[in-house]
Structure 1
């Protein structure tokens, strides 16, 4: 139950982060906002590591043993924050969140298919339902704007 609560809270924090970062991007530019986001994140995690482990103790040999593809997470993170800084001011947050969710589900199914060679019909059906709900909501909002 604790992990479910943490996941739920984290989901809310992701949305707050998206909105805060996009507002920062509006003020100082998309890439400036992304840079500030990652600098503050670096300072934050450095403080956590210093408190938790009594210092950052990571020998160079440990960094060299990490496969090159593992560093892509940081690059992808920068792309995500930059893209969201562009998208959030243009699309309502609820739509952005749902579109991101659909992208996550689709990517999760592709990764599962590649790794496990299987995809659940329930996941496919659920994804289609979410997409249909999103399209219906677009339709309703557009109709209300025309009135």
Structure 2
């Protein structure tokens, strides 16, 4: 009998490792983009980010064997919303370039996660007409935790400023 348990375990471990690496590179790229935007501005930093990513995307499209580069030449699809992905990417990079220096990295990662969860729930409702209570409550729990953490941090900063005023 064929035993696929070792392959399944290997693939599960690979998926976990890749998800951690994805999170690491996301935080790293946000920090690098923020430093770049400090020097040249947020919109120019977003432009450089996409300009650097375009050749890499073309190289990957050529190298990955399941992709067919001839699909690029096809006539444009009439649905306008298909083209909003690039615009959304530019907007997201711009917003992250502005916020990453003002919000701690862990908090920004958690806020991004909460946003992804709730957008995923919204898309599931709109496209599949499905709803997962467990995912909603989990996202809500994380959102409340992030909110409480931010509130506690705000009060601690406020209290430190008050103590500094009274000591002077």
Instruction: Give the TM interval when normalised to the shorter protein.
Output: 0.7 to 0.9
Within 2, Cα distance between the matches of 1:63 and 1:94? 43
- Give TM-score, length-normalised by structure 2: 0.75
Q: Which residue of 1 aligns with 2:44?
A: 32
Within 1, Cα distance between the matches of 2:25 and 2:99? 18
Q: Which residue of 2 aligns with 1:82?
A: 94
Please identify, of 67-76 and 98-107, the stretch whose mean Cα deviation from structure 2 is larger: 67-76
Q: How big is the shift at 1:70?
A: 1.9
Contact map agreement 2:62 2:69 (CA 8 A) in 1: no
Within 2, Cα distance between the matches of 1:99 and 1:88? 12
Q: Which residue of 2 aligns with 1:42?
A: 54
Larger RCO: 1 or 2 (CA < 8 Å, sep 6+): 1
Q: Which residue of 1 aligns with 2:118?
A: 106
Within 2, Cα distance between the matches of 1:8 and 1:79? 25
1:129 aligned to 2:141?
yes
Segments ≥4 residues shifted beyond 4 Å: 50-53
Q: How big is the shift at 1:140?
A: 2.8
State how many pairs are aligned.
145
Q: Which residue of 2 aligns with 1:144?
A: 156
